[in-house]
Amino acid sequence: MATEVFTNYTEVDANNKLTVTSSRATGANVGRDEEVYLYKDFGPNYFNNLYVTFELYVASTSVYAIEPNIAAVGGMGFANVVDDVSGFSATDINVMIGTEPINAFKLWLERGPGAASDVYIGAADTIYYCLLERAVDSDTVTLKIYSDAARTTLLDTLTISGVGVTTQWRYCYGFVNWDGGYAGTEFDGYVQNLNIVLPNIYLMNLKGLKIPYEDKDESKELHVLLKNLSPTSKEAGAAGEVVIEIKYELAA
C-alpha cells in the first residue's frame, strides 16, 4: 500500500484552518460555519470496492455547541461532488471524529449528511486506526476501528447500508468538515496515513479440468502450489491473501 500524498490534493480552506503535510491533514479551530476540505479528483466511477486504512484523532481542546446540540467534527470521505459534508449526496460516505455534549467524543460512519449513520463512543487525545471496506457493487460499507497500528485489537465495527449497488465515487477527501452554518464549534484533530488499496484482480477460471488426486496419506488435505510465472510481481489481494476456490467430487 502507498500512502496518499496530501500535498497533491486540492485544499479549500479560506480561513487557513488546515495544516497539510504529505501524510497528515491537521485541523485547528475548524468551525461548522465554514468550508474546510482537502480532496483529489480520481476521475468518474473510480472507486467501487474499498479497502482503505487511515488514522483519526480528535483533541480534547475541540469545542462543541450546546444550543443547539452541534458536534465539532472532521474526517475523510468519498463522494461524487466537490463540497463539504453538507453538500454530499445520500450515497456519498464520510467517516467523522469529533465531540458533542452527549457522550462526548465519537466516531461516525455516515452516508450523506446524516442520511444514515453508525456511531462508536471513543475518547479524546487518542489515535484510532481505521479500516473502511466495501465489496464490489455492495450496498453496504463497514468501518473497523482498532486501537493499535497493526490493527489486531478491534474496538468496534460500524456498518451502514443504502449506498446503492451501482454507486461508484470520483473524489477522495483526505479531510472534510461539515458546514451547517453554526457558529461556536471548533474541531481540533487530524486525518493521517491514508492508504487506498485498489483492486488488481487476477482471475483464472478453468472449467472442465479434471485432475485425478489420490489421498495417499489419508489426510483429506488438498495441496496446491500457486506460482507467479510472470517477471512482474503481483500484490496478493487487498489483505495480502490469495483466495483459491476449488470444487471437487469424489471419484466413483
At 152 the pLDDT is 96
Query: What is the residue extent of each domain of the chain?
Result: 6-196
At 61 the pLDDT is 94
**Nearest CA-CA partner of 106 in 97, 116, 95, 115:** 97
- Paired with 140 in beta bridges are 161
Are the beta carbons of 141 and 158 closer than 8 angstroms? no
At 238 the pLDDT is 45
Are the beta carbons of 167 and 49 closer than 8 angstroms? no
Are the beta carbons of 20 and 188 closer than 8 angstroms? no
Are the beta carbons of 186 and 99 closer than 8 angstroms? no
- Paired with 108 in beta bridges are 96, 119
Give the Å distances, CA to CA, from 131 to 30, 116, 152, 204: 24, 19, 11, 28
Query: Using one digit for the tens of pLDDT, what is the confidence trace for 36-72?
Result: 999 999 999 999 999 999 999 999 999 988 766 788 9
Q: How many CB atoms lie within 10 A of CB 65?
A: 19
Grid coordinates representing 155 are 474496538
Q: What is the pLDDT along the chain (252 residues), one digit of tens a residue?
A: 579 999 999 999 999 999 999 999 999 999 999 999 999 999 999 999 999 999 999 999 999 887 667 889 999 999 999 999 999 999 999 999 999 887 689 999 999 999 999 999 999 999 999 999 999 999 999 999 999 999 999 999 999 999 999 999 999 999 999 998 888 889 999 999 999 986 544 445 555 666 677 777 777 776 666 666 665 665 554 445 566 666 666 666
Please report where in the chains the cell 461516525 appears, as a residue.
108
CATH of range 6-196; options 3.90.1170.10, 2.60.120.200, 3.40.50.960, 2.40.40.20: 2.60.120.200
Averaged pLDDT score across all residues of the chain: 87
Spatial distance between the Cα atoms of 76 and 150, rounded to a whole number of angstroms: 21
**Nearest CA-CA partner of 132 in 73, 84, 71, 173:** 173
Query: What b/e readout covers 204-236, taking b as 16+ CB neighbours within 10 angstroms?
Result: eeeeeeeeeeeeeeeeeeeeeeeeeeeeeeeee
Measured between its terminal Cα atoms, the distance across the chain in Å is 47
**Nearest CA-CA partner of 97 in 22, 25, 33:** 25
